[in-house]
């Protein structure tokens, strides 16, 4: 993995120290990362999910996008998930049989100085809990 990707993973591990962080290197210098047991709130069932994402070899000059959560996530009030959620997606390319719900939250004005993999994950978690 590239040094920038390793640094991003280290920051994620420090920020989410109470969570298991699983890392699968890709073949290009990036990594697939999953942070387990993220609290999404009581408006969702299940109320916790792992959140996965791909930090590509272009990091920090590429957005960490999209993020993935459990395929079976539903709202406890019976409402549909909002437009930023897309169900029936594949979390890792070629990882068939592991369906996921994609969270589409692109950062069009990426600033590599402040838009880290960690801050992006925190923003995605905040967006999900606010829905």
Between 72 and 14, the higher pLDDT residue:
14
Dihedral sign for Cα atoms in the order 101, 86, 112, 39? negative
**Burial code of 54-81, b = ≥16 C-beta within 10 A, e = fewer?**
bbbeebbeebbbbbbbbbebbeeeeeeb
CATH value at residue 16: 3.10.110
Cut 0.85: pTM above it: yes
Question: Which residue range is the domain that position 44 belongs to?
Answer: 3-130
* Domains in the chain, number: 1
What is the C-alpha separation between 53 and 31, in angstroms, rounded? 9
Q: pLDDT tens for residues 85-122?
A: 988 787 776 565 578 899 998 877 888 888 999 999 99
């Amino acid at each position: 993995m590239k040094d920038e990707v390793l640094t991003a993973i280290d920051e994620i591990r420090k920020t989410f120290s109470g969570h298991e962080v699983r890392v699968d290197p890709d073949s290009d210098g990036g990594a697939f990362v999953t942070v387990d047991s993220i609290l999404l709130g009581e408006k969702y069932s299940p109320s916790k999910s792992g959140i996965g994402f791909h930090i590509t070899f272009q990091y920090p000059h590429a957005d960490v996008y999209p993020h993935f959560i459990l395929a079976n996530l539903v709202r406890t009030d019976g409402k549909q998930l909002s437009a930023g959620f897309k169900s029936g997606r594949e979390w890792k390319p070629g990882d068939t049989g592991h369906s996921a719900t994609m969270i589409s939250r692109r950062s069009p004005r990426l600033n590599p100085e402040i838009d880290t993999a960690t801050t992006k994950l925190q923003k995605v978690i905040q967006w999900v809990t606010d829905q």
